């Protein structure tokens, strides 16, 4: 029911975009592992709209959240089964599942209640459903324990970045470019205290929303960065948008699904429209802002400039964005985690599989220097498997 040995682990990652879930299956051999299957599975449009509607404070209800918690549990379990099925991996060969859940709300700065400062996060995607459907012990709700220890509960996978990507002699940055963008800075000595991790700024949710608004909804995303390629970056606008309070804030800092979502894109497009920008220029400028906010975060908040930047996430598939990041970081080696054998889109799902393994092994898996927590804790709630029943 709780595995004594872990040969195979599954990771489920549902990003802040609320658009789907990434599944990765890992196989271990000694200290090494390989990703033997992975796949990003989109929610249906109806599901996507429903999930995204839950983000808005004060307009949704306890009945909807109750329902969608169990619905997403089913979706996650089905997605895992589908990935295993396509790769001819028996579910029963998997020892643990780590599930990110779907973040509905993120409140990293304390609100006062009864005079007490309270940080919180609300995550759904019922893990009991995953454990029951698959029979596999399932670890979920990692951030809650970090928040209980005065952390922000994000970024949550920094310890795994440290395990996988640190180098002995040079400082490395792991740059996640997905719904939002997140950096994990790994100092050469390899000590956790020197690690820094925080959300750098807007990401693909922002870009997609800008594309939708700039094409009257005829395009969902800037395929291969083609629109940005044809447009011209308005540098003055980028500069102004870099002064956004979040982007100037000292870490620890973390974004929720609403921080760089539709409302933020609305404001951006209104400003672009006032300036009379053409659609392709709006998209180019938005892409430029994503690149510039990453570079600005490195300049302001990393202790030294990294010698190498490893990139991961769906945003790495946008060559124009990658080119802009290159240009804003002259002389820095930029490499995809794909070159290390982990598909860029699967990286977070891989991290959740490994986070779950740390939980089962009773090893602390948060990073206080990243989340601001007061101490190291073992994050995750465990739902038992069902192989004894």
* Binding stretches for its own copies (CB under 8 A): 1-2, 44, 46-47, 54-71, 73-74, 104-105, 107, 111, 113-114, 116, 118-122, 126-129, 131-133, 140-141, 144-145, 147-149, 359, 362, 364, 375-384, 386, 388-389
Nearer to its own copies, 133 or 320 (CB): 133
Q: How far is the CB of 273 from its own copies (least distance, A)?
A: 30
Nearer to its own copies, 56 or 230 (CB): 56
Nearer to its own copies, 47 or 302 (CB): 47
Nearer to its own copies, 88 or 389 (CB): 389
Q: How far is the CB of 139 from its own copies (least distance, A)?
A: 10
Q: How far is the CB of 357 from its own copies (least distance, A)?
A: 14
Q: How far is the CB of 363 from its own copies (least distance, A)?
A: 9
Nearer to its own copies, 15 or 385 (CB): 385
Nearer to its own copies, 158 or 295 (CB): 158
Q: How far is the CB of 182 from its own copies (least distance, A)?
A: 21
- The b/e string for 244-254 (b: 16+ C-beta within 10 A; e otherwise) is bebbeeebbbb
Q: How far is the CB of 111 from its own copies (least distance, A)?
A: 6
Whose CA is closest to 195, among 225, 229, 164? 164
Nearer to its own copies, 124 or 237 (CB): 124
Q: How far is the CB of 369 from its own copies (least distance, A)?
A: 17
């Amino acid at each position: 029911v709780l595995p004594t040995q872990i040969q195979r682990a599954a990771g489920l990652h549902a990003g802040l975009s609320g658009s789907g879930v990434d599944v990765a299956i890992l196989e271990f051999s000694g200290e090494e592992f390989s990703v033997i299957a992975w796949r990003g599975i989109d929610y249906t449009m109806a599901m996507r709209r429903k999930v995204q509607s839950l983000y808005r404070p004060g307009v949704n209800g306890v009945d909807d959240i109750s329902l969608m918690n169990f619905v997403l549990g089913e979706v996650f379990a089905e997605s895992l089964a589908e990935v295993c099925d396509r790769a001819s991996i028996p579910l029963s060969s998997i020892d643990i599942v780590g599930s990110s859940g779907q973040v509905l709300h993120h409140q990293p700065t304390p609100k006062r209640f009864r005079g007490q400062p309270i940080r919180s996060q609300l995550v759904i995607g019922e893990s009991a459903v995953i454990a029951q459907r698959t029979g596999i012990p399932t670890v979920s709700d990692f951030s809650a324990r970090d928040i209980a220890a005065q952390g922000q509960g994000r970024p949550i996978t920094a310890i795994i970045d440290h395990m996988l990507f640190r180098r002995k002699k040079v400082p490395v940055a792991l740059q996640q470019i997905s719904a939002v963008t997140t950096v994990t800075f790994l100092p050469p000595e390899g000590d956790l205290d020197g690690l820094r991790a925080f959300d750098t700024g807007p990401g693909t949710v922002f870009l997609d929303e800008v594309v939708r608004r700039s094409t009257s909804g005829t395009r969902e995303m800037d395929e291969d960065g083609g629109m940005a390629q044809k447009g011209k970056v308005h540098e003055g606008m980028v500069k102004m948008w870099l002064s956004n309070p979040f982007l100037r804030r000292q870490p620890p800092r973390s974004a929720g699904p609403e921080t760089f979502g539709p409302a933020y894109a609305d404001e951006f497009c209104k400003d672009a429209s006032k300036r009379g920008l053409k659609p392709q220029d709006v998209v180019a400028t938005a892409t430029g802002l994503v690149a510039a906010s990453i570079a600005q975060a490195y300049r302001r908040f990393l202790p030294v400039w990294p010698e190498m930047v490893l990139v991961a996430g769906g945003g790495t598939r946008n060559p124009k964005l990658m080119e802009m990041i290159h240009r804003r970081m002259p002389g820095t080696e930029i490499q995809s985690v794909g070159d290390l054998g982990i598909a860029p889109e699967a990286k977070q799902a891989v991290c959740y599989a490994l986070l779950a393994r740390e939980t089962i092994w009773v090893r602390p898996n948060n990073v206080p220097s990243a989340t601001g927590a007061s101490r190291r804790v073992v994050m995750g709630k465990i739902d038992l498997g069902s192989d004894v029943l």
